[in-house]
Amino acid sequence: MPVLRFGFSLMLIFGISVTACAQHHYFSIAPGRKNETVHFNNYDNLIVTEFVINDTLPLRLMIDSGVEGVIITDRAISLRLRDSWLRDFKISAPGSSEEIDASITKSLKLSFEPLEPIVTNMVLLKDDFFSLDQYIGAKVHGLIGMEKFRNLMVTTSYDRNTLRFERPREFKIKNHTQIIPVIITQGKPYMPVRVALDDQHIMDLWLMVDSGANHPLLLEKDSLDGFEPKVSLNGIIGKGLAGNIPGSFARVGWMMLGNFRLDDIVTSFTDQYMPNNFFNRQKRHGTLGAGALARFLVTFDYTNSRILLRKGSKFSQPFEYNMSGLNLRASGTGFNIFEVSEVIPGSPADEAGILPGDILVSVDEKYTFYLNMGELNNLLSDRAGKVLKLGISRNGRHINFKIRLRRLI
């Protein structure tokens, strides 16, 4: 049975809170059309699609329920929009109690075929603190909040890599659908879940639904009444304003989403997600990420303040964490040069002697130049017990390694 991999290499966390005012214009379906379906690029369950600014400037944005508005993270795009800047302001982001310098634009036209275009302000980051390209392994220029589609029912199929848009009055609820109420705060949905921690202590939690983070579950330790996992692995759980966000990985017994139960979930724990910023966290306990959402057909219904879930093909797949111990970042014009950014202590890669800064050039005689980040990560976390032959370039020398994949938690 195939498994899903979760690790730092693609775990970018964006709980960004925009403090600037913005016009509230939302995408809609053209008159005479009942629904629309759009295919998206799937990067470890992160949704990236094509948009156009003012009919002339194409860009690729991640659709993210964990942000509000449109946030351009690519400095080159921000500079091209310099004539549209209105004023500077600051936003907060994970990994630091500090704030990011940003600008807000005047109203710009944003097109997303085949929906009707919108007119909206955009937030431009002065610097690309997050390096989305490196950790996704593809060109991404920024983020757009799911709330920009708030007048529509948005159904995400992670199995087919499609987004289906319908008007709420025309949407038909199918059998075996769980309807979960949410509260929308600053454009972001929050929902209740019940979780059994590894000591079987059951807690009712309040989570932000964050489709722009590929972890299944992230819990903020300072909200858990002193709970500490009995068995955990220290590591980097994501990337934020101040750089890497430290924390640990552990498993929780189960999580209930309505009447659907997910078992043995790899969970990120940290007290550095929003340090000294409990107010901005809306008193939540953590976030529910795309690693869990991808087990379902997910419909966001902002109009009626609810999320609808139906089982997808991945529902029963086991949750797995990085089995090689290698975390990678991509570079080059095609994002197909893969540098080791971190080696997890005590992992198969660490025991073999692979080092940060090494370039991974082949896996089982498959050259990485012809692979994307998702394909490569699947090879590196195929199944426990599998032996992989890795070709490494180090300071101009080619070195061969063998590692045996295994569960680290």
- Ranges of each domain in the chain: 4-166, 179-320, 323-404
Name which of 44, 37, 171, 43 is nearest 115 in CA terms.
37
∠ Cα 121 15 344 (to 5°): 135
179-320 and 323-404 have identical folds: no
Q: Which residues, at least 6 apart from 171, have a Cβ–Cβ distance to it below 8 Å?
A: 153, 299, 301
CA–CA separation, 282 and 222 (whole Å): 14
CA–chain centroid gap for 25, Å, is: 24
Q: Which residues, at least 6 apart from 222, have a Cβ–Cβ distance to it below 8 Å?
A: 271, 278
Indicate the SS3 state at residue 125. Answer: strand
CB 168 within 8 A of CB 153: yes
CB 118 within 8 A of CB 354: no
Name which of 297, 237, 293, 294 is nearest 267 in CA terms.
237
Structure-block tokens of residue 270 = 């940290």
What does each of the 409 residues of the chain score in pLDDT, given as a tens digit? 223 334 433 344 454 544 444 445 899 999 999 999 999 999 989 999 999 999 999 999 999 999 999 999 999 999 999 999 999 887 766 655 567 788 999 999 999 999 999 999 999 988 777 678 888 889 999 999 999 999 999 999 999 999 999 999 999 999 999 999 999 998 999 999 999 998 778 999 999 999 999 899 999 988 898 888 989 998 888 776 556 788 899 999 999 999 999 999 999 998 876 555 544 555 789 999 999 999 999 999 999 999 999 999 999 999 988 899 999 999 988 899 999 999 999 999 999 999 999 999 999 999 999 988 888 988 888 889 999 999 999 999 999 999 999 999 8
Name which of 383, 129, 342, 320 is nearest 234 in CA terms.
342
CA–CA separation, 20 and 238 (whole Å): 26
Pick the CATH number of 179-320 from 3.40.30.10, 3.40.605.10, 1.20.1250.20, 2.40.70.10: 2.40.70.10
CB 391 within 8 A of CB 378: no
Give the Å distances, CA to CA, from 86 to 90, 108, 408: 13, 12, 49
CATH superfamily of domain region 4-166:
Acid Proteases (2.40.70.10)
CA–CA separation, 355 and 29 (whole Å): 51
CATH superfamily of domain region 323-404:
PDZ domain (2.30.42.10)
Cis peptide before 168 (omega within 30 of 0): no
